[in-house]
């Protein structure tokens, strides 16, 4: 019984610690760049991909910086640390989020219409507010829908996102954005 309790509790404690260390990744936090977030945003590097032009941006995340990406298009990223996605994929038949790696994966359905497929190893806790926590996650996830928040904390992370939204990357890695 104690092992089962610890198996569920320890990943949740790890999530809380990371969320406190990087406040812009916290569940209830607004993703806007208001003056109340001025301390956080002083080290954010922002790439706004919402212009009406085709663009490809290559970059890296790390060096005590969090990367904030916003817009519509395709994002590919890999690395270790934390990834937070608030978005939607329902505007395109090809819209999808795929993420793989080792760590903790949290998926929250904001609109009640997501289609998710999670494979691999680890445990799962489902909360009442359409939130699923995959702890000890070692696998792959695909998510489509009209509104969701995905948090993934771990290593060997690989992300492919096609749709519209806001993404934060913290840790170390590289990314490519294509606006088409």
Residue 122 φ/ψ region, left for φ over 0, alpha for ψ in the -120 to 50 degree band, beta for the rest: left
pLDDT at 66: 78
Encode pLDDT of 131-180 as tens digits. Answer: 999 999 999 999 999 899 999 999 999 999 999 899 999 889 888 888 76
Question: 38 and 166 in contact (C-beta within 8 Å)?
Answer: no
Encode pLDDT of 57-79 as tens digits. Answer: 667 766 667 788 888 889 999 99
pLDDT at 35: 27
Q: Global pTM?
A: 0.71
pLDDT surpasses 80 at 10: no
If one compares 36 and 133, the residue with the highest pLDDT of the two is 133
Question: 44 and 66 in contact (C-beta within 8 Å)?
Answer: yes
């Amino acid at each position: 019984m104690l092992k089962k309790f610890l198996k569920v509790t320890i990943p949740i404690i790890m999530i809380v610690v990371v969320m406190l260390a990087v406040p812009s990744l916290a569940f209830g936090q607004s993703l806007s760049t208001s003056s109340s977030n001025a301390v956080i945003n002083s080290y954010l590097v922002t790439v706004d991909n919402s212009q009406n032009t085709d663009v490809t941006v290559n970059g890296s995340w790390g060096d005590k910086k969090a990367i904030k990406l916003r817009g519509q298009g395709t994002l590919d990223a890999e690395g270790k640390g934390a990834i937070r996605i608030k978005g939607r994929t329902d505007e395109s038949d090809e819209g999808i989020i795929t993420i793989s790696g080792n760590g903790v994966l949290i998926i929250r359905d904001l609109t009640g219409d997501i289609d998710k497929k999670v494979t691999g190893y680890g445990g799962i806790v489902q909360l009442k507010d359409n939130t699923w926590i995959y702890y000890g996650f070692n696998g792959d996830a695909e998510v489509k829908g009209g509104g969701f928040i995905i948090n993934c904390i771990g290593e060997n992370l690989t992300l492919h996102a096609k749709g519209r939204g806001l993404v934060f990357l913290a840790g170390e890695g590289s990314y490519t954005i294509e606006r088409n």
